[in-house]
Amino acid sequence: MTGNTVMIIIAIVAYLLLTLYIGVRFSKKNKSTVDFYLGGRKMGPLVTAMSAEASDMSSYLLMGLPGLAYLSGLADVGWTAIGLALGTWLNWLIVARRIRHYSSEIGAITVPEFFSKRYHDNKNILSLIAGIVIVVFFIPYTASGFAACGKLFSSLFGVDYMVAMVVFAVIIIAYTTLGGFLAASTSDLIQSIVMTIALIVILFFGISLAGGMDNVIENAKSLPGYLSMSQTYVAETGEASGYGPITVISTMAWGLGYFGMPHILLRFMAIEDKKKLSLSRRIASIWVVISMGVAILIGIVGLGASATGAIPALSGSATETVIIELSSKLAENGLLAAFVAGIVLAGILAATMSTADSQLLAASSSVSENIVSQFLKRKMSQKTSLIIARVTVIIISVIAVFLARDPDSNIFTIVSFAWAGFGAAFGPVVLLALFWRKGNKYGAIAGMIAGGAMVFIWKYAVRPLGGAFNIYELLPAFLVAFAANIIVSLVTGGASKEVAGEFDVVMKRHN
Residue type present at position 243: Y
% of residues, the chain, pLDDT over 90 = 37
pLDDT value of position 55:
55
CATH classification of the domain holding 8: 1.20.1730.10
Number of domains in the chain: 1
What is the extent of the structural domain holding 253?
3-510
Instruction: Identify whether the C-beta of residue 378 lies closer than 8 Å to the C-beta of residue 45.
Output: no
For residue 233, the cross-strand partners are: 240
CB 308: neighbour CB atoms within 10 A? Answer: 13
pLDDT value of position 37:
47
200-236 pLDDT tens trace: 888 999 999 999 999 999 999 999 999 999 999 998 8
Q: To which H or E segment does residue 239 belong?
A: strand 239-242
Parts of the chain with a pLDDT under 70: 1, 19-20, 22-59, 175-192, 272-276, 350-351, 353-355, 357-358, 374, 382, 409-412, 511
CB 486: neighbour CB atoms within 10 A? Answer: 18
pLDDT value of position 46:
58
29-74 pLDDT tens trace: 545 444 444 444 455 565 656 555 555 566 677 788 899 999 999 9
Whether this model's pTM surpasses 0.85: no
% of residues, the chain, pLDDT over 70 = 83
Phi-psi region of 495 (alpha: psi -120 to 50; beta: other; left: phi over 0): beta
